Amino acid sequence: MRLRALLAAVFLLVTCVSCGSGQVSKDDPLPTRARDGDHLTIGVRFDVPGLSQRTLDGRLAGFDVDVATYIAHELGVDADRITWHETTPAHRETDLASGAVDLVVATYSITDKRKQQVSFAGPYFVTGQDLLVRLTSPDITGPESLNGRRLCSVPGTTSAQMVKDKFAQAVQLVEYPRYTDCVTALLANQVDAVTTDAVILAGYAAQNPELLRVAGRPFSTERYGVGLRKGDTEGQRAVDDAIRKMVSSGAWAKSLAANIGPSNYPLPKPPEITEQ
């Protein structure tokens, strides 16, 4: 009899690991995960000044962090219930698919290729690919002046892909895991330029204004979306609504001015939301 009671207790314990309040499955839509779990894990970058970077006291700060925090709040999750997870460009899709993160807000360009693996909400910001060069290289004005030179980018980005697709014949592509490594290599004369989105490069140029400049001739359109697990249309709608509210309340423009303004990057108008 006692054995039967024990077995029943064990059975209840095992079956209820995934039931009851606070328990959510990775395949639940984002709003359900936020509501029932009262917690979100958000994939962000740790190496993008103005967008998402660690401060000296260990916090994360920037426009992407503000967008993510706003979305979480709209989904009912307070800032102290967010876990920030560093996601690198090559891992954004796998971090979403595996359930390592609930959403990605990480300078993540919406592309058709990525849409085969993830869903996007947004866009919430639009920029374009550009070059960061030393002030001592006035002759580098755009990708066509990079013939025979070394260009640094990060694997898994649209920027590195563009170089492979369009400029690989003439340019030597060097890849490092983070932009901070590319910028260090640029300052040490180990590469001749760094390429990624202009808004990211502006942040690095602002950290080294006496040494670096952005070429200033963007050669792609990068629409930043919020990455969600593929097929989460309920999540897409909820995140789109949150972005709309961030724009209409003025919080979007305020965060942009505070975080991106100091780099002198020209602040754009909010883009039209197209992913739904």
Contacting positions for ligand GLU (CB under 6 A): 89, 107-109, 154, 157-159, 196-197, 222
What amino acid is encoded at 160 in this protein?
A
CB closer to ligand GLU out of 92 and 229: 92
CB of 193 to ligand GLU, least distance (A): 15
CB of 189 to ligand GLU, least distance (A): 23
CB of 105 to ligand GLU, least distance (A): 11
Q: How far is CA 95 from CA 5, 44, 272, in A?
A: 41, 11, 27
CB closer to ligand GLU out of 4 and 113: 113
Place of tokens 């989904």: 75
SS3 85: strand
SS3 273: coil
Q: Residue 47 CA to chain centroid, in angstroms?
A: 10
- On whether the CB atoms of residues 236 and 226 are closer than 8 A, the answer is no
CB closer to ligand GLU out of 119 and 159: 159
CB closer to ligand GLU out of 77 and 118: 118
CB of 122 to ligand GLU, least distance (A): 12
How many whole angstroms separate alpha carbon 249 and alpha carbon 252? 8
Nearest to 40 by CA among 231, 177, 254, 238: 238
- On whether the CB atoms of residues 51 and 64 are closer than 8 A, the answer is yes
CB closer to ligand GLU out of 74 and 197: 197
CB of 248 to ligand GLU, least distance (A): 25
